[in-house]
Structure 1
């Protein structure tokens, strides 16, 4: 529900071109916030521009883009209520075979870019006693085979979120993590394409060791995405994290995420390994 106070507040959403980011931007605008929506291309800006949504060209790995965002926020008389760090990429591959350049690219987007945006917007958030909402993943708690880079970046984001929460809570800023499971977005499809491209570059020995595993994980990813939450449903969880007066430190999004988190609390590592391996075997060619 829109309130008069919300119409006077800003929310920044990164990665708002498609998927959860776009849906969250629309949901928050519907609730009366003025949303600064970070997108990568002009056509994405045209697609999302609407009442309450102001698109900005924003690549969070480009310092000049991040500085321009900070200047835009500083020039606005409205308080910055929340920063939603949503931008992300998914790159899967076995630890042995995934090139270091790909590891660095994943961490630049999924971790360092978020830190850069958070650093420049924290002064405004501190003034407004706002909040930071970091979009992690169930992969930020449990790393399946071939998910080392992606899950590693999300594990790191979870740790940074914990540290930041403990630093700024005494100053009135809340830090919330959202952990989605499978969501029907374009990111998973792009992740499968990237995994196939990278697996084609494996040596014959690596193909023999990991090829079936990579293909099974791609099938698992595709099926999990197809049966997952819609982006609009995930956006409702994000909106709750943004608007709830006393938010929890973490929210899962989707039944699969809630189930995996529960299993992780009660099962040993070895038992969980066997559960995940059995699930993966169902998808092997």
Structure 2
């Protein structure tokens, strides 16, 4: 339940330009918090600025931006109630074909950037006995084909969250992971465009091996996103993690995420391989083929 004291608390939300981050910022502001909404461009700042929402220019991979955010929080008399690490990118390609520069970029944004912001704001969170909310994914538990880099960073974020939770719980800081399934945001469309760009750079031999897989996965991403949660619905899960007095260590967001998390542990690795391969084949464009798993 929201109280009047929440108007005297700060919350930082990274990746708040659009989608789930923007929806989370709006809902938290509606509930009376003062939200520092991380955006990468001035044009995005103009879009998200509203009562209770203060945009801050923030590229979480830029140390200067992170230092400026920490200084902004330190200068504010209001306590920092929560940090919502939401910024992220999606890059899909087979392990063989994804350049190392892209692997590093994914990990810089989806893992190291979150660690940098968390390190910078932990002193404030320790003072206020606040909480860290890390936005992971079902991909943080189960890695589908072409998701090596994305899932790898999310798996790592899950591990870092577990370690951090056990380190700071005795100090009064709570760490919560939110694991969404499909959400109707722009990240999937951008991910498909990136996947197509990377596929165009494959050698003819790689294209023969993986071309059908990439096309099928793009179709699966598009349909999964279209049938997923709205950003506002996903944001409600994040807001619950921010506001509930005794949060769980993990929350799923969406029926697909809940189903995967329940069924996954019941299946052997080989059985799960076959289930995922069969699902991909349903989305394979006519006239294409890719290797059969299992």
Name the TM tier (shorter chain).
over 0.9
SS of residue matched to 1:183:
coil
Residue 7 of structure 2 corresponds to 7
Tell me the distance in 1 between the aligned counterparts of 2:277 and 2:235.
Answer: 31
Asked if 1 retains the 8 angstrom alpha-carbon contact of 2:2 and 2:243, the reply is: no
Residue 264 of structure 1 corresponds to 264
String of CA shifts for 1:122-161, please: whole Å, max 9, x gaps: 0000000000000000000000000000000000000000
Q: Does 1:278 align with 2:278?
A: yes
**Runs of 4+ that moved beyond 3 A:** none
String of CA shifts for 1:74-100, please: whole Å, max 9, x gaps: 000000000000000000000000000
Tell me the distance in 2 between the aligned counterparts of 1:207 and 1:200.
Answer: 8
- Structure 1 residue runs of 5 or longer lacking an equivalent are none
Residue 101 of structure 1 corresponds to 101
Asked if 2 retains the 8 angstrom alpha-carbon contact of 1:2 and 1:30, the reply is: no
Residue 243 of structure 1 corresponds to 243
Residue 122 of structure 2 corresponds to 122
Residue 20 of structure 1 corresponds to 20
SS of residue matched to 2:116:
helix
Asked if 1 retains the 8 angstrom alpha-carbon contact of 2:94 and 2:147, the reply is: yes
Tell me the distance in 2 between the aligned counterparts of 1:54 and 1:236.
Answer: 20
TM-score (norm 1): 0.99
Q: Does 1:158 align with 2:158?
A: yes
Residue 30 of structure 2 corresponds to 30
Tell me the distance in 1 between the aligned counterparts of 2:169 and 2:256.
Answer: 30
- Structure 2 residue runs of 5 or longer lacking an equivalent are 286-294
Shift of 1:5: 1.0
Shift of 1:2: 3.9
String of CA shifts for 1:224-261, please: whole Å, max 9, x gaps: 00000000000000000000000000000000001111
Residue 202 of structure 2 corresponds to 202
Tell me the distance in 1 between the aligned counterparts of 2:77 and 2:145.
Answer: 48
Shift of 1:263: 1.2
CA RMSD of aligned residues (A): 0.5
